[in-house]
Structure 1
Amino acid sequence: MADLVVTLNAGSSSVKFALFAADAEWPRLMVSGAVEGLGARPRFRVEIVDGKASERKLDATLGHGQAIAEIFNWVEDSYPAATVSAIGHRVVHGGLRYSAPVIIDAETLAELKALIPLAPLHQPHNIAGIEGACEAFPHVPQVACFDTAFHRGHAFVDDAYALPYSYYEQGLRRFGFHGLSYEYISRRLRIIDPIHAEGGVIVAHLGNGASLCALKGGRSIATTMGFSALEGLPMGTRCGEIDPGLLLYLLHSEGMTPSELSHLLYERSGLLGLSGVSHDMRVLEASKEPRAAAAIAYFIHRIKMEIAALTAVIGGLDALVFTAGIGERSTRIRAGVVDGLGWLGLALDKTANARHESLISAPQSRIPVFVTPTDEEAMIARHTIEAAGLSVAAR
């Protein structure tokens, strides 16, 4: 059997995994699954490509370490004759040093732990995934694939904040996130529409976490997320763009502690905070509550503002791509954004949008509008295969 590559994406309440065969130019997906509901009602879900799907409940006390052990026990039991040759990890923050995937050693792991203050809600879980995988497979190469790496080539004007320059030198700058998703879409667009892919493209990664990225020639030029995953668009529970003066007011005049402020901005804001109903776009779209409609309108409004700004940065728009959970599934959000940007030359084909077709722009639209599923796991697997020297070309 071909070399097997496992990818891990450890979040706050779940550990997603996928199993790929490294026997072709692009990784071949064999299995996808997750341990979900950690801290509440954990369950193990797995889906075999061209095979059956299954799900079972797990012990309520299960933590990240046990969840990862559960995944690797399943892999070993299900593929006893196979060899797990490398394990790839999604790591949210790579800081200034990491602009490409890297084999993890003790020094790298220590540096990733030092970045926890820059991504407190994500980095600890990513590291837990690495440590669990190292324990299960101590002699297998572990590869860190960074969400920030795709954006590391930005110009100073897209990287800096207008603070004293010494802060920029310290590394207090705009990093950007969702890079693995944007890199995958960039590569995919070269196949779908190679001519427009080389021009100015804006990708809308719209999910519970949401951001936009402006590409030129397939490279990231600017993105809406910055120093943290709070900046830019409003998200499921995160605030997005906000006046820092308001934060100072909450700290000094309202007496909030830093911990309370962090909880407000990361977990009580965004679509949830505005609507008072839910962070889930599907629930908001089904709701008759006026505040749910207002939250949706605000989300669309901010997307349009950011698209206009990014278009200016890259000197014009040649293609718009929607991806991630909301971007791939919400006809209402896509229609609201495109209909509001007719002045840019965008026009929507309502039938194509309703059918979730890959091209949803009308024939008269100057600019093509695509709906393209993202695949961060495949991107992680590709990087892992290359970093571990398992690629078909390398052999």
Structure 2
Amino acid sequence: MALILTVNAGSSSLRFALYEGDTRPAALLRGRVEGLGGSDPRAHLTPERDFAALSMAGVVDHHSAIRALCDWLTENSLQHRIGAVAHRIVHGGDRSGPAVVDDTLLAELEELKSFAPLHQPHGLDAIHALRKPLPYCPQIACFDTSFHRTLPAVARRLTLPHSLADRPLRRHGFHGLSFEYIASSLPARIPNAQRVIVAHLGSGASMCALHHGRSVETSMGMTPLDGLPMGTRSGAVDPGVLLWLLETRGFDAERLGNVLYRESGLLGLSGISGDMRTLLESEDPAAQEAIDVFTYHCARTLGSLVVALGGLDAVVFTGGIGERAASVRADIIRPCAWLGLRLDPAANEDHGPCISTAGQAPSIWVIPTDEEQVLALQAMQLIGP
């Protein structure tokens, strides 16, 4: 049986998995390389016993991590067993679903690099790199933006002159693979929940309002820079601030981009780290201030999404912070008590799955996301088992 390889290139990580199955793909192996671009990147394989280790010799960035993945496939004699490769591509423009990669699609996606500079180049690099060892294997691009194709017109429009309303200049939304996984899991877990807010909180963070499992509003806009403050990304900033930096501080586009994408968010607020785990362990008041700003914006965004839904049946936390940081969840929910949201402290410390008080509506949940599962399923549905 042919395997499906999934590749998920994040801003500082590379995750991959191998799946098999005719109708519902099952993971044989999951791997991740973390800390890319830092001083000590590390690899993890689950399970470890059935495969040779992934060599980290010379791995410092995404390029070298992808080369290491290609070498690992060869060392484990897997390249001839793979029937398709499914890639997470953050920005798909107006694409409404997954697509087999060809040169035309690659050129289209290259033009979107500037909309997602922390992710799009790495995703496309992985496609180019895996074409060589797997020349006859279809590469499938699966887009984060596609899930939000159901946004209503009023949510898609930017408040710019009509003459600037070209197709790329609209709100797209991101983290769609994660939101799609959560939406698919809701009928089994919360069957009567029709109006659900999902908070995907990690180094990148966004929230989505689901109505009957469909995206009707989200916190990110045209780029994954918008919305909530993140690990190193600013989130929403008054455009007047950007004009002021350009006009009075002599910033050019490159400097401004570095500040917004790499020097802001939790890192910029705290001056310590963009990693929530480090901030939670710190006794520095600046760390707590950064956490407070983050949770304030999350709570405020949650409230606005309730308006888009016309009510609320459930809140779901997912992503690295959302799944593992109990105190952050508590700080977000506390100011939302007026919505009827009540945490069960013990359940919250145990990370759920249901963390609201018994019988409480709206309910609150922690559901681990699985973007790789969605990648494999989309590839299987596109090309068949």
**TM over 0.5, shorter chain:** yes
Answer yes or no: is the 8 Å Cα contact 1:41–1:57 preserved in 2. no
The change in CA–CA distance for 1:63 and 1:306 in structure 2 (over 3 A counts) is closer
CA distance in 2, matches of 1:224, 1:136: 39
CA deviations 1:1-26 (Å, max 9, x no partner) are x2200001123443221111124x32
Q: CA deviation digits over 1:46-90, x for unaligned, max 9?
A: 222786895643125x66455334323323432559621110000
- Correspondence 1:8 to 2:4: no
Q: Which of 262, 267, 276 is the aligned partner of 2:262? A: 267
Residue number in structure 2 paired with 1:93:
91
Amino acid paired to 2:98 = P
In 2, Cα distance between the equivalents of 1:115 and 1:247?
22
Residues 129 and 315 (structure 1 numbering): CA distance in 2 closer, same or farther, change over 3 Å?
Answer: same
Letter of the aligned partner of 1:298 in structure 2? V
User: Per-residue deviation at 1:42?
Assistant: 4.8
Q: Give me the whole-angstrom Cα distance separating, in 2, the residues matched to 1:332 and 1:295.
A: 14
In the TM superposition, what is the alpha-carbon distance from 1:37 to its structure 2 partner?
4.5
Tell whether 2:15 aligns with 1:20: no
State the alpha-carbon separation in 1 of the partners of residues 169 and 75 from structure 2. Answer: 46
Mapping 1:226-305, distance limit 5 Å: 226-305=221-300
Indicate if the aligned counterparts of 2:58 and 2:64 stay in contact, CA closer than 8 A.
no
How far off its partner does 1:129 sit?
A: 0.4
Cα contact 2:98–2:378 (8 A) shared by 1: yes
- Tell me by how many angstroms 1:284 deviates: 0.7
- Equivalences for 1:50-69 in 2 at 5 Å? 54=53, 56-59=55-58, 64-69=62-67
Residue 206 of structure 2 contacts residue 228 of structure 2 at CA under 8 Å; is this kept in 1? yes
Aligned partners of 2:106, 2:33: CA distance in 1, in Å? 24
Q: Map 1:165-184 onto structure 2 (within 5 A).
A: 165-184=162-181
1:293 is aligned with what amino acid? Q
For residues 1-395 of structure 1, what are the structure 2 equivalents within 5 Å?
2-23=1-22, 25-39=23-37, 40-48=39-47, 54=53, 56-59=55-58, 64-79=62-77, 83-96=81-94, 98-196=95-193, 199-390=194-385
1:216 and 1:340, CA in 2 relative to 1: closer, same or farther beyond 3 A?
same
Query: Given residue 378 of structure 2, which amino acid in structure 1 is its aligned partner?
Result: H
CA RMSD of aligned residues (A): 1.9
Deviations 1:282-306 (A, max 9, x none): 1111111111111111111101110
Between 1:364-373 and 1:315-324, the stretch displaced more is 364-373
**CA gap 1:283/1:43 in 2 versus in 1, 3 angstroms:** closer
Matched residues, percent identical? 45
Aligned residues: 384
Contact 1:43 1:58 (8 Å CA) reproduced: no
Moved more, 10-19 or 264-273: 10-19
* Change in 2 beyond 3 A, CA 1:336/1:65: closer
Deviations 1:232-267 (A, max 9, x none): 100001111210001101110111111111111111
Counterpart contact for 1:317–1:367, Cα < 8 Å = yes
Q: Partner of 1:194: helix, strand, or coil? A: coil
Counterparts of 1:322 and 1:240, CA distance in 2:
19
Deviates more, 1:281-290 or 1:79-88: 79-88
Partner SS for 2:150: coil
Alignment partners' CA distance in 2, 1:354 and 1:36: 26
Counterparts in 2 of 1:13 and 1:367: CA distance versus 1, 3 Å: closer
* Structure 1 unaligned spans of 5+: 391-395
Inter-partner Cα distance in structure 1 for 2:258 and 2:361: 43
Provide TM-score, normalisation by structure 2.
Answer: 0.95
What's the counterpart of residue 393 of structure 1? none
Q: Matched residue of 1:46: which SS?
A: strand
Q: Report if aligned partners of 2:201, 2:322 keep a CA contact under 8 Å in 1.
A: yes
In the aligned structure 1, how far is the partner of 2:186 from the partner of 2:322?
16
